[in-house]
């Protein structure tokens, strides 16, 4: 289109409709580019989360010694457990390492009211039965280094010490890490009496000072 400016000079201008269409096409292209960038960023974040998520396959194991004492009727009771252990761990791409742990937890509770160490922040505390015993155990875990076993864990324990049948099973979980231990019935070495099932929060400290 030809026009005249205020000074009387001729000039050429673009069809306003064409200008609008061009701007619309530019905005549309920019919108598509933004969407593609957002999708790429989301894919990168998902990939990073997947890489950081611990594998649930076993990567370590070891042996230790521990003991438990429980007395409760589900809604009210007291429970205590403690152990020390050492193990080896395999971290893909970095190889094998070794380390030690010290784990403990004790709680007195009635309903939703609890008094314990550490703070009972890994689910509701519960206990059924009466038991006291100690002995060696073996454990397996998906932790690739001993430091992954540090911190607070939800720990469920089954203790059996009835006549000749004496053993303990314990499962601890937290932050994607699990540890399963078995205390076998070894005469004299694994004393225990009673029966109990408990669920409490325990804390594990590892070699290197991590808790």
pLDDT tens for residues 167-187?
Answer: 999 999 999 999 999 999 887
E strand or H helix at 45, and its extent?
helix 16-52
Distance CA 174, CA 1 (A): 72
Does 118 sit behind a cis peptide bond, omega within 30 degrees of 0 on the bond before it? Answer: yes
Q: Are 78 and 108 in contact (CB under 8 A)?
A: yes
Does 191 sit behind a cis peptide bond, omega within 30 degrees of 0 on the bond before it? Answer: no
- Specify the pTM: 0.73
Helices (H) and strands (E) counted in the chain, each on its own, are: 1, 11
pLDDT tens for residues 44-85?
Answer: 554 444 456 889 999 999 999 999 999 999 889 999 999 999
Instruction: Give 202 or 28, the one with higher predicted confidence.
Output: 202
E strand or H helix at 23, and its extent?
helix 16-52
């Amino acid at each position: 289109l030809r026009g005249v400016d205020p000074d009387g000079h001729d000039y050429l201008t673009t069809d306003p409709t064409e200008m609008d269409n061009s701007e619309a096409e530019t905005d549309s292209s920019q919108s598509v580019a933004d969407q593609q960038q957002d999708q790429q960023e989301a894919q990168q974040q998902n990939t990073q989360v997947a890489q950081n998520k611990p594998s649930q396959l076993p990567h370590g194991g070891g042996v230790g010694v521990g003991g438990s004492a429980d007395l409760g009727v589900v809604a009210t009771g007291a429970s205590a457990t403690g152990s020390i252990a050492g193990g080896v761990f395999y971290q893909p791409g970095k190889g094998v390492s070794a380390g030690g742990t010290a784990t403990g937890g004790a709680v007195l509770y009635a309903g939703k009211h609890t008094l314990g160490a550490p703070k009972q922040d890994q689910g509701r505390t519960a206990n059924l039965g009466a038991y006291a015993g100690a002995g060696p155990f073996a454990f397996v875990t998906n932790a690739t280094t001993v430091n992954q076993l540090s911190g607070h864990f939800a720990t469920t324990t089954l203790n059996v010490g009835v006549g000749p049948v004496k053993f303990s099973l314990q499962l601890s979980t937290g932050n994607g890490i699990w540890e399963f231990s078995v205390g076998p019935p070894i005469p004299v070495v694994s004393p225990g009496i009673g029966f109990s099932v408990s669920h409490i929060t325990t804390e594990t400290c590892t070699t290197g000072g991590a808790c």
